[in-house]
């Protein structure tokens, strides 16, 4: 874990150096391809970091404080969306595992659901669920769940199907019910598959939450902040960059949480550890 | 069901795979008395594993029937009348040894205290006390197989079905496991149906050896093993042991030759 952190820090340093070097080279030579480099298109990274400690707007607290509050709001949407999507995806995977008919009938639609752009669905969800006395962020969580359920459904199915036939035969010899076999053999066998889905879904839920905020004009989250700073980009490019950094950090935090939980939950023979 | 019901009774069992496909078994008749140790031996493709799976109701015969303790094999499976041990230990690697052994007991609704007590007894029986909290991958192949045997014995079934349980082990480990298995068998008095393709193993363990021949699988001869129990390492040096092993070997060679001339 520590070693991984060290590697990540080294890569971050490398990327920082690359960005700064690229910037310096293009600006001193005056190259304009593929695009002109100046403080507007590529603000210096130290300024982006500095910007975090400056007021978000006049008479406001530091940008980092504002962004962290917004990140917490988006995190709530993303987490609820992730949980909702995971439960729904798991249920779909279980149903598909047990019913070939359901699998053949509905799998194409589940796949198809993911080809619909999320931006096209978001406004509908906001209209369907808005003004029902629910908190404003609920439709956003549902949009996040729409992105999350898919990898979980597919990997649940694959994971349950992957159970060792010899273990299933053992369960049969013990006259186990389908339910017992599901929980005692198939589900534990599917856990590694589930967690790779959770890794994908964790980051997707953050993206879903940010995008979901756009059509619902929610100002409390990172999506609102991105929209807002995008409008003032020509005046204050570092603010948008800083917001993106926070959004990325949120996604990474979700991802790492899943990895951590996986380490605690999934026990495998050493040779099976990825 | 009578008090004298055979432990296993196979009547005219045939098994064909696929439609008009290969005939794995044809017209098998076999009676196993309670407390017997029966080995099924034969070349690959003789259907010995299939026959074991028919007894365990893991596959259905195409015709004929298998009775276990006077009941249909299906009912016997539902009643958990037998414990099964496969060639691979087939342990759940996410469970500790304790929880692997107690898996059938959990399914049967035993409470935790009784389970713990039973696991302690069983691990003592298979000489793995102290490994309760290990995971399967921390154990050698022979130890894993002993865990599988403990699991199969956990609910005290009257019948043990063993499908080449020591086939993946080296010869020295296998010899030791054979002695241990006889000790366990004598302690539990369960009936054992044991599939193997080791002649020495079959002679050493069994009270009777069912020699099968291949294509189609059928019973060629049943050999009575008149070596006295308990058997020890000396048994392997007994002249009678060699005579019996030779007899089985010649029967197998005959069946092999018969196949070659077909």
Full domain range(s) for residue A6: 1-42
By the CB < 8 Å criterion, does B165 face chain A? no
Across chain B, mean pLDDT equals: 90
Q: Which among B96, B83, B98 is positioned nearest to B52, based on CA atoms?
A: B83
B99 in contact with A, Cβ within 8 Å: no
Whether B90 and A164 lie within 8 Å, measured CB to CB: yes
Is the pLDDT assigned to residue B258 strictly greater than 60?
A: no
List, for residues A95-150, the tens digit of each pLDDT value. 999 999 999 999 999 999 999 988 888 888 888 887 788 888 999 999 999 999 99
Question: Do A148 and A92 contact (CB within 8 A), yes or no?
Answer: no
And the tokens for B136? 């399967």
- Chain-chain contact of A173 with B58 (C-beta, under 8 angstroms): yes
Q: Which residues of A touch B82 (CB under 8 A)?
A: 173
pLDDT of residue B18: 78
* Residue A77 to residue A89: CA distance in whole angstroms: 18
Task: Report the CATH number at residue A170.
Answer: 1.10.3720.10
Both A113 and A210 in a single domain? yes
Distance of CA A37 to the CA centre of its chain: 31
Mean pLDDT over residues B31-51, rounded?
92
Please give the C-alpha separations between residue A84 and each of A89, A124, B68, in angstroms, as whole numbers: 8, 18, 49
Residue B78 has pLDDT above 70, yes or no: yes
Q: Residue B80: its chain A contacts at CB < 8 A?
A: 174-175
Does the pLDDT at position B146 exceed 50? Answer: yes
Of A174, A180, A266, the CB nearest to B80: A174
Chain A residues in contact with B93 (beta carbon < 8 A): 267-269, 272
**Which residues in chain B have Cβ-Cβ distances shorter than 8 Å to A185?**
92
Q: Which residues contact A91 (CB under 8 A, 6 or more apart)?
A: none
User: Would the CB atoms of B77 and A188 count as touching at under 8 Å?
Assistant: no
Under a CB-based contact definition with an 8 Å cutoff, are residues A141 and A199 in contact?
Answer: no
| Chain B residue at shortest CA distance from A171 | B104
Q: What is the arithmetic mean of pLDDT over B48-62?
A: 94
Q: Which of B80, B94, B106 sits opposite A175 (nearest CB)?
A: B80
pLDDT at B25 over 80: yes
Q: Do A154 and A38 share a structural domain?
A: no
Is A188 within 8 Å of B92 when comparing Cβ atoms? yes
B84 and chain A in contact, CB less than 8 A: yes
Residue A14 maps to a domain: yes
Cβ atoms B76, B69 nearer than 8 A: yes
Q: What is the pLDDT along chain A (274 residues), one digit of tens a residue?
A: 788 889 999 999 999 999 999 999 999 998 998 999 999 999 999 999 999 999 988 888 999 999 999 999 999 999 999 999 999 999 999 999 999 999 999 999 999 999 998 888 888 888 888 778 888 899 999 999 999 999 999 999 999 999 999 999 999 999 999 999 999 999 999 999 999 999 999 999 999 999 999 887 888 999 999 999 999 999 999 999 999 999 999 999 999 999 999 998 886 655 544 4
Q: Which of B56, B79, B135 sits opposite A173 (nearest CB)?
A: B56
Please state, in angstroms and as integers, the Cα–Cα distance from residue B163 to each residue in A173, B15, B21, B39, B86, following that order.
13, 18, 24, 10, 5
Tokens of B175: 């010899």
Residue of A nearest to B74 (CA): A175
If one counts every other C-beta atom within 10 angstroms of the C-beta of residue B104, the result is 24
Same domain flag for A160 and A116: yes
Which residue among B77, B83, B94 sits closest to A188, beta carbon to beta carbon? Answer: B94
Query: In terms of domains, do A105 and A62 share one?
Result: yes
DSSP-assigned states of every residue in chain A: -HHHHHHHHHHHHHHHHHHHHHHHHHHHHT--SSS--STTTS--HHHHHHHHHSBSSTTS-BHHHHHHHHHHHHHHHHHHHHHHHHHHHHHHHHHHHH-HHHHHHHHHHHHHHTTS-HHHHHHHHHHHHTTSSS-TTHHHHHHHHHHHHHHHHHHHHHHHHTS-HHHHHHHHHTT--HHHHIIIIIHHHHHHHHHHHHHHHHHHHHHHHHHHHTTTT--SSHHHHHHHHHHTTTT-HHHHHHHHHHHHHHHHHHHHHHHHHHHHH----GGG--
Mark whether A21 and A103 lie in a shared domain: no
Contacting residues of B for A164, CB less than 8 Å apart? 90
Cα B102 to Cα B100: distance, rounded to the nearest angstrom: 5
Q: Does B157 touch chain A (CB under 8 A)?
A: no
Cα distances (Å, whole numbers) of residue B139 to B52, B85, B131, B136, B148 = 27, 17, 9, 6, 12
Chain A CB within 8 Å of residue B136 CB: yes
Q: What region, left, alpha or beta, does residue A185 occupy, with left being phi > 0 and alpha being psi -120 to 50 degrees?
A: alpha
Pair A87, A212 in one domain: yes
**Residue B168 has what pLDDT?**
84
* pLDDT band, very low/low/confident/very high, at B262 (cuts 50, 70, 90): very low
The CA distance from B56 to the nearest CA of chain A, in Å, is 7
Q: Are residues A119 and A9 located together in one domain of the fold?
A: no
Q: A4 with A36, same domain?
A: yes
**Sign of the CA dihedral with A56 first, then A61, A63, and A68 last:** negative
- In angstroms, what separates the C-alpha of A205 from chain B's closest C-alpha? 29
Which helix (H) or strand (E) segment holds residue B16: the answer is: strand B8-16
CB–CB of B84 and A271 under 8 A? no
Strand-pair category, B82-85 with B159-163: parallel
* Mutate which: B103, B138, B164, B168, vs A, most A CBs within 10 A: B103
B136/chain A closest Cα distance in angstroms:
8
As a whole number of angstroms, the distance between CA A265 and CA B191 comes to 40
- Is residue A48 included in any domain, yes or no? no
Q: What total number of domains does chain A contain?
A: 2
Top residue of B71, B77, B85, B92 to mutate, by most chain A CBs within 10 Å, is B92
Domain ranges for chain B, please list them: 92-156
Instruction: Count the neighbouring beta carbons within 10 Å of the beta carbon of residue A101.
Output: 9
Confirm or reject contact between B79 and chain A (CB < 8 A). yes
Q: Is B92 on the interface with A (CB under 8 A)?
A: yes
Contact by Cβ (8 Å): B233, B179: yes
Residues from A in contact with B at Cβ < 8 Å:
164, 166-167, 169-170, 172-176, 180, 184-185, 188, 191, 266-272
| Residue A47 within any structural domain of the chain | no
Considering the domain architecture, whether residues A70 and A108 belong to the same structural domain is answered as: yes
Does residue A49 lie within any of the structural domains?
no
Answer yes or no: is A116 within a domain. Answer: yes
Residue pointed to by tokens 């962020």: A137
What does the DSSP 8-state code read for residue B228? P
Q: Do B107 and A184 touch (CB under 8 A)?
A: yes
* Preferred mutation among B137, B138, B167, B193 to probe A, highest tally of A CBs within 10 A: B137
């Amino acid at each position: 874990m520590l070693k991984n952190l060290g590697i990540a820090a080294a890569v971050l340093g490398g990327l920082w150096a690359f960005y700064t070097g690229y910037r310096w080279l293009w600006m001193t030579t005056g190259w304009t391809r593929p695009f002109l480099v100046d403080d507007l298109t590529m603000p210096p990274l130290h300024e982006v970091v500095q910007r975090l400690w400056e007021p978000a707007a006049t008479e406001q607290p530091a940008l980092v404080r504002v962004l962290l509050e917004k990140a917490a709001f988006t995190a709530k949407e993303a987490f609820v969306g992730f949980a909702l999507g995971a439960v729904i995806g798991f249920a779909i995977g279980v149903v598909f595992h047990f019913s070939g008919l359901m699998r053949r009938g509905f799998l194409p639609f589940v796949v198809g659901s993911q080809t619909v752009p999320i931006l096209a669905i978001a406004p509908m969800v906001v209209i369907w669920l808005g003004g029902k006395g629910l908190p404003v962020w609920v439709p956003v969580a549902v949009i996040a769940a729409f992105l999350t359920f898919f990898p979980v459904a597919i990997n649940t199915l694959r994971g349950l199907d992957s159970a060792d036939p010899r273990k299933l035969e053992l369960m049969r010899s013990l006259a186990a019910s389908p339910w017992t076999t599901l929980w005692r053999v198939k589900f534990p066998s599917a856990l590694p598959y589930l967690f790779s889905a959770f890794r994908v879904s964790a980051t997707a839920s953050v993206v879903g939450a940010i995008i979901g905020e756009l059509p619902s004009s929610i100002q409390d989250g990172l999506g609102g902040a991105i929209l807002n700073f995008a409008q003032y980009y020509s005046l204050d490019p570092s603010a948008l960059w800083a917001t993106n950094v926070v959004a990325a950090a949120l996604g990474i935090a979700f991802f790492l949480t899943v990895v951590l939980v996986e380490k605690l939950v999934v026990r495998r023979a050493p040779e099976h550890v990825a | 069901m009578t008090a004298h019901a055979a432990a296993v009774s196979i009547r005219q069992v045939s098994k064909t795979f696929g439609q008009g496909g290969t005939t794995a078994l044809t017209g098998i008749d076999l009676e196993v008395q309670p407390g017997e140790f029966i080995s099924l031996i034969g070349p690959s493709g003789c259907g010995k594993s299939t026959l074991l799976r028919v007894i365990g109701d893991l596959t259905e015969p195409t015709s004929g029937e298998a009775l276990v303790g006077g009941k249909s094999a299906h009912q016997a499976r539902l009643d958990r009348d037998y414990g099964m041990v496969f060639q691979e230990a087939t342990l759940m690697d996410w469970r500790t040894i304790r929880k692997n052994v107690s898996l059938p007991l959990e399914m049967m609704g035993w409470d935790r205290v009784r389970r713990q007590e039973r696991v302690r007894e069983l691990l003592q029986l298979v000489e793995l006390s102290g490994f309760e909290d290990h995971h399967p991958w921390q154990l050698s192949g022979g130890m894993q197989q002993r865990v599988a045997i403990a699991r199969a014995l956990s609910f005290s079934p009257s019948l043990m079905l063993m499908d080449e349980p020591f086939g993946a082990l080296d010869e020295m480990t296998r010899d030791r496991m054979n002695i241990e298995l006889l000790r366990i068998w004598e302690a539990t008095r369960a009936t054992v149906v044991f599939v193997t393709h080791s002649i020495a193993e079959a002679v050493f363990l069994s009270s009777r050896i069912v020699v099968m021949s291949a294509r189609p699988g059928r019973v060629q001869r049943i050999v009575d093993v008149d070596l006295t129990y308990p058997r020890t390492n000396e048994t392997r040096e007994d002249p009678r042991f060699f005579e019996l092993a030779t007899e089985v070997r010649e029967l197998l060679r005959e069946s092999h030759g018969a196949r070659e001339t077909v």
